[in-house]
Amino acid sequence: MTTYETCKKDVLAASLWLSEHGYFGSLRGSGGNVSMRGDKESMVITPSSLSYQAMTAEDLFVLGLDLNVIQGKSTLKPSMEAGMHSIIYRRRPDVQAIVHTHQIYGSVFALLDTPIPALFDEVAFSLGTAVEIIPYALSGSPELARNVETKLSNNANAYIIQNHGILALGKTLDKAILHAELLEKVAHIYCLALSTGKSVTALPDAIVQLVAAMRAHEVNSAGARP
């Protein structure tokens, strides 16, 4: 089995899991997208406008990071968010997989235009010092890809796109999915905590600084690898 075939199999399995667990917002729809690096200059990504329940590994696209098609059916189109995935892979050498979802509690904060601070150390060490808001732009537009690019320097593994959904990044596909799960967990708890009207305590500054240092080290180490 070739590298691309293995990646397609893994991306399809991840997409079906996310769909079946409600991360795309509808079971029968085609919202959201999943990708994985094929090699340093390519990625495997889900197609556009095809239900996950009907999708096969052969329906997935292999694109260069310049968005040229390496493999793909002529009857389908690659995800409209391919440009967003490409810019992340080009700017973040530590990222090997990306999931873009429309999960419920993460999307609450997309509408509130409110970032999620570091609330639990085990979540912060995985996601970063905060889950920041990426400013809104039309889905699939170059403007949205540029807005995503402006936030990548914080070295986080999760972001909320205003009035849209979330991005979860990982050094493996399993890690990217885990980060989507952790974001949903902390978004749910934060939403409940805010609903009480009481003050919410964030992690101490010293821990936030430690998280920032660890995330920067991981990203820089990945960039230094040949």
pLDDT tens digit sequence for 97-156: 999 999 999 999 999 999 999 999 999 999 999 999 999 999 999 999 999 999 999 999
Q: What is the DSSP string of the chain?
A: --HHHHHHHHHHHHHHHHHHTTTTS-SSS--SEEEEEEETTEEEEPBSS--GGG--GGG-EEEETT--EEE--TTS-B-TTHHHHHHHHHH-TT--EEEEE--HHHHHHHHHT--EE---HHHHHHH-SEEEEEPP--TT-HHHHHHHHTTGGG--SEEEETTTEEEEEESSHHHHHHHHHHHHHHHHHHHHHHHTTS--PPPPHHHHHHHHHHHHHHHHHHHH--
What's the domain range around 155?
3-224
Residue 223 has pLDDT above 80, yes or no: no
Name the domain count of the chain: 1
pLDDT tens digit sequence for 54-81: 999 999 999 999 999 999 999 999 999 9
pTM more than 0.85 = yes
pLDDT tens digit sequence for 146-171: 999 999 999 999 999 999 999 999 99
Q: What is the reported pLDDT for 29? A: 82
Which residues participate in catalysis according to the annotation?
A: 81
Q: Which amino acid is at 16?
A: L
| Cα–Cα distance measured from residue 46 to residue 8, given in angstroms and rounded to the nearest whole number | 9
Residue 211 belongs to domain with CATH number: 3.40.225.10
Local confidence band at 27 (pLDDT 50, 70, 90 cut-offs): confident
